[in-house]
Amino acid sequence: MIELLIFHLHIGAALYAFTKNWQNSGVKEGLLGVIIIGLVFAIGWALTGTFAYLIMPNSIEGSFFNSATLSLVLLVIPESVFFYIFFVKSK
């Protein structure tokens, strides 16, 4: 369930990035914002997944919190900083 919440937050962030860049610079910039969000998500999840499997072995996984959930939670922290710097903070 936590994974679903995090995925929905990413969809909302991508929509926000698209809308803000589209209003300021056009459709191409909006699509670039969505692509950047997707790239940061994919690369970050691959990196944090490695750390999560090292931190949390399969023997202590529960039904609500497993290593995939841990990797997504670890990913949200640097992604929120990245999102704030590039999309929310006014220049």
Report how far apart the first and last C-alpha atoms of the chain are (Å, whole number): 36
Predicted pLDDT at 91: 63
Predicted pLDDT at 59: 64
Predicted pLDDT at 57: 74
pLDDT means per 10 residues, the chain with 91 residues, are 90 93 91 93 93 79 80 93 86 63
Tell me which residue has tokens 């999840």. 45
Residue ranges covered by each domain of the chain = 2-88
* pTM for the whole structure: 0.82
CB 67 within 8 A of CB 53: yes
Predicted pLDDT at 89: 83
How remote is the C-alpha of 2 from its chain's centroid?
13
Predicted pLDDT at 16: 92
Predicted pLDDT at 1: 82
CB 34 within 8 A of CB 14: yes
